[in-house]
Structures are given as C-alpha cells and as structure tokens.
Structure 1
Amino acid sequence: MNSTETKLRKAETEDKNIIWGILQQAIERRRQDGSTQWQQGYPNLGTVENDIEKEAGYVMTIDEEVAVYVALILNDEPAYNNIEGAWLSNGEFVVVHRVAVDERFAGQGMVKKLFDHIEEFTKSKGIQSIKVDTNYDNTAMLKILESKGYAYCGEVFLAGGIRKAFEKIII
C-alpha cells in the first residue's frame, strides 16, 4: 500500500461546495442512524461560509484531496460557559465542531487522524486544551473521544439539544 499524506489546512472559499457536499453526506448518515443530531437545518451552507470567513474552517486532505471537514474555534463557545459538570481547565482552548468525513474515506480511521492533527495544531499555538461536544447518540464519535483520551466533563446545551462535553489537556 502506498503511504498517503494527510494534512490539515485552512479551508478556502473554493472548498466550500466540496465541504457542503461532505456535510450533506454526514447529515444524511446521522439521519439514517436514527440520530437527532444535525437534523434541524444546521449545519448549512451559510455555516460553512461563516466558518471560512472567520478562518475557523479546516480541511484534512489525503494526497491533496479533501477528505474531512472540521471547524476549529479558539476560546469561543458561549454554550461552554454553562456546563452541567466541570471542565478540566479554564485556560485557552480549541473547540472542535462540525466534524464530517467524505463517505469515500469513511471507515478508514480518518477522525482519529484528524484528532492527531488537531492536537498538533493546538500544541503549535501554545493552547492548553481541546474541548469538544457531541450528541449522546453519536456512538462513533463517543468511541473515538474515549480512545483518544478525552475526559467526559458533563453536559452542555447547544444547537437546541443536550450534548456530552469532553476535554483533553494538551500542554
């Protein structure tokens, strides 16, 4: 097997239709799994445009082909101020939102690779921790967070629902 090169880079305006296509696949997968997550018109194309404009949209590429989309937001998630529980830290943090994998790359451990890149990104910026939330019924993501050493911190209310919140101290 040829070794593939994975990279995390900022999403560009010209990526937006590819990204929106990937998100639509993910929305449909969540629906087929019987999940309530992402079924109320969020995220949408406007979300993607907003992420890119704010420089929060990132893509993980495999040999320069966009495989995964993620929004990485620095220190800013108002919903995280009201946690039913407690965060591990109150320093600077990177918020991980809107993780979606192109179905051509599904089932290949892409999200685990993505989290490795996010940890590198966080370290490189000298930021203390990564915070992430997911739906209680997103078993795939819950398993990945557990395998990557994220601690369950409690619940947050976000996008109209209760989410499980996790944190990992990076530095």
Structure 2
Amino acid sequence: MNPPNLHLRPATMADAPAIWQIFQQAIAQRKRDGSKQWQNNYPNESTVREDIEKGYCFVLTENKQVVAVAAVIFEPEPAYDKIDGAWLTHGDYAVVHRLALADAVKGRGMAAKLFQLIEPLCVNRGFYSIKIDTYFDNAPMLHLLKKLGYAYCGEVFFNGAVCKAFEKVLKKVS
C-alpha cells in the first residue's frame, strides 16, 4: 500500500527541470557504478520534452515534489519485436522505459512504489502486460524486477545495446 502523500501523475512541461535533474543524478550513478547504460547522451533534455509531449512521461510525487520518473508507453516497442528468447504474452502491452529516482529518496522503496502505481494504471487502460528491458549490469533494476515478479524473457537490442528483457502479466480486476 502506498502512503497518501505519494501520487503518480502525467508529467507537465513545468516538471521538465525536476525530471532532467533526476535523470542527471541517475546518469551519474550509472557512471559511478561502471555501467555504460545512459552514458551516450541518452536520455537527454530532448527525450524529456518528447516524453512529456507524447504523454509517456509520468512522475511520482511525494508531498507534491517530483521524486521519480518513468516513461509508460501504451504502444508497441519495435525493439521488442525481435527477442532472443520468448515473451510470456503476444497481445497488447505497456512498456516502461527511462525509470529514475531522485537521489534523496533512494533506499526508501520508491522504485517498488512507483511500479505499484504504474501497474494499476496499465490495467485501468486495458493493458494486462508490462514489458521492460535493462542493461545486464543494472543490479538495482534487476533486483527490483525479480522482487516485483517480472519474468526474465530473454535479450533484446535497444538503443544500441543488448539488454535483458522482462515481462509481467497483470491481473484483471473484476
């Protein structure tokens, strides 16, 4: 259960500076971890603006402050058409890309809380599957996906890199 002061909402252009700051923190963290993920000018400020304009960008707020961000995309990801492995489902699905937390909230379970709000958002829009990918060396995300019940499905090629691909089938609410 999520505290009442946590809310998931679509991002607005007014959120762009806070979102970009969170991405800069995440980019720096990935670099400190020795990862190549997000070290090639992606995501960038244009990515943030485009995600907001397309309605992909969602922010998690705590006491009205943006503390996390994710792109939740309700259309197919072309990179997922070819997988070295097999997806659990073959129908419509939502995609989560570009998930990041503010440094100030790390270690408080905010990433799990973000997913706990994204999943019902997907179900409410008629999407009963979420697909996501991450780098092989993104230990925090790999741990989170396992903890939240996302199944490893294989490898996909996304944004110039081979990534681990995961899927979770969501329950329909009656």
Shift of 1:4: 5.3
1:126 corresponding residue in structure 2 = 126
- Written as runs of structure 1 = structure 2, the 5 A alignment for 1:130-169 is 130-169=130-169
CA–CA distance in 2 between the matches of 1:75 and 1:57?
A: 14
| C-alpha contact (below 8 Å) 2:8/2:59 kept by paired residues | yes
2:99 corresponding residue in structure 1 = 99
1:82 corresponding residue in structure 2 = 82
With the length of structure 1 as denominator, give the TM-score of the two structures.
0.96
Q: Secondary structure of 1:43's match? A: coil
CA–CA distance in 2 between the matches of 1:141 and 1:27?
A: 14
* Residues 74-97 of structure 1: per-residue CA shift (max 9 Å, x gap): 122110001111100011111000
Alignment root-mean-square deviation, CA: 0.9
Q: Which runs of 5+ in 1 are unaligned?
A: none
Aligned sequence identity (%): 48
* Count of residues in Structure 1 that have an aligned counterpart in Structure 2: 169
Shift of 1:5: 1.4
CA–CA distance in 1 between the matches of 2:83 and 2:6?
A: 34
Q: Secondary structure of 1:72's match? A: strand
The aligned amino acid for 1:12 is: T
| C-alpha contact (below 8 Å) 1:153/1:167 kept by paired residues | yes
CA–CA distance in 2 between the matches of 1:53 and 1:73?
A: 12
CA–CA distance in 2 between the matches of 1:73 and 1:56?
A: 5
Q: Secondary structure of 1:163's match? A: strand
With the length of structure 2 as denominator, give the TM-score of the two structures.
0.95
CA–CA distance in 2 between the matches of 1:143 and 1:99?
A: 14
1:43 corresponding residue in structure 2 = 43
Shift of 1:63: 1.4
1:58 corresponding residue in structure 2 = 58
Shift of 1:49: 0.4
Moved over 6 A (4+): none
Shift of 1:106: 1.1
| C-alpha contact (below 8 Å) 1:4/1:63 kept by paired residues | no
| C-alpha contact (below 8 Å) 1:87/1:167 kept by paired residues | yes
